[in-house]
Amino acid sequence: MRKTALTFRSGRSTRSAGSTGPLGRRAAAPVALAAVVAMALSACSSSSTGTGGSAGSSGSAPAAGGTATATANVAKLTEALSSYPVPTATLSGVSALKGKTVYYIPITQQAAQFTVTGTALKQALASVGVNLQICNGGSNPSTIAACVNQAVGAGAGAIVTDSIPYALAGNALDAARAKKIPVLVTDQIADSAHPADSTLGYIEGAGSAQLVAIADWIIADSNGKAKVVLNESTDSPSTVAYVTKAQEEFKQLCPDCSVTVNKISSANFSLIASSTSSTVLRTPGVQYVVSEFDQYLQVTQGGVQQSGKAASVKGVSSAAGTAGLTQLKSKNFLYVDAGQASAYQGWATADAALRLMLGQTLPDYTIPMRLFTRDNVGSITIDSADEASGAWFGPTDFTSKFKTLWGAA
């Protein structure tokens, strides 16, 4: 029997691109940010965008045993780590950095994710006598640039941005690097227009991995026959690219799955519920509705309820925090939530910043993620303490391992 090619239907967009987040966890952004990111998206996005457009399998045969592969992937991803992937290359000369200050600029401080990462980053740097200054990006390009300029004026040892595309503060970041202040861009896919060098490094984060894991769970749960509505954040080229990775996973492993993409943004947050509802109603037989990030979870759920399909739809999300996991445990709409090890990311970010300040090559950093389902969420303690320690994802001894690398144990 001929297998139906997987089609990706792009839902009608009623919003423009908005603010950026690690994995989209941020508050509504001002129009200024929306305009800048829209320009970046037009230049960098690889996701299909046309209303009613589709991307098929181009006649290629589906991967054998796609559902079995997805099921095996899920089995691994729902388990806790046996150990965190701490780099192995020791770092010498860290004592020379004592007293320096690193500036951490998250896209906004209104998202809990950045609090976890920032707190861990501060603790990590303090262990070697380096200070941390946090400057709220405020979801605004002008504010972000002002934060970078403040760091330059203060003679910062390094600048770390979180969930901010390089282009949003390109001139300011260029000026910082010209003054030999290294820049570390985190929770963003590397920008090919600004390649890494001795003054610029990237830590991508687990955005792509989380969306691919979600695709695997849906494929396995549906036995390879899912009908999905996926709310894609257009807030940055990276958030679009994460969804593209999920689409590729569906295409490869699930030729009988159908994925309808509904484009949303934090700039038009109030429109997401109605947009979700209309997309669900235009997609007969939909079984799964994906909120790309927990930031959009409540309005996504509201849209499903407005559509009258709540009883037949399974909610899916990523960027899991305490609120999302609590909802998952209570079996309220959510069936799976992918999470990123934000505390570990803070320590990995510190390691990268120290290496950049010392002029050393950065290793490859993997930020772990885990799938939390209704079956395994009861195995963790859902509170801010365990989130901050990294206990949701594995053993918490990674902090001592980093200190050993830095000669601070």
Residue-level pLDDT at 139: 85
User: Counting beta carbons within 10 angstroms of the beta carbon of residue 376, is it exposed (0 to 12), middle (13 to 18) or buried (19 or more)?
Assistant: middle
Structural domains of the chain sorted by starting position, each given as residue range(s) with its CATH number in brackets: 8-55+66-80+207-340 (3.40.50.2300)
Split the chain (409 residues) into runs of 10 and give each run's mean pLDDT.
33 33 39 47 34 33 76 98 96 96 92 91 98 95 97 98 96 98 97 96 97 98 97 94 98 97 93 98 97 96 98 97 97 98 98 98 96 98 97 98 95
Kindly state the DSSP code that residue 168 receives in the 8-state scheme.
G
Ordered alpha helix ranges (H), 222-321: 237-253, 272-281, 297-307
pTM: 0.85
Q: How far apart are CA 400 and CA 396, in angstroms?
A: 9
Core vs surface per residue 80-116: b (16+ CB within 10 A) or e: ebeebbbbeeebeebeebeebebbbbbbbbbbbbbbb
Can you give the pLDDT at residue 16? Answer: 31
Torsion 22-26-32-38 (CA) sign = positive
Say whether 38 sits in a helix, a strand or coil.
helix
Determine the pLDDT at residue 33. Answer: 54
CA distances to 97, 105, 132, 347, 350 from 126, rounded to whole Å, are: 11, 18, 8, 11, 10
No. of H helices and E strands in the chain?
13, 12
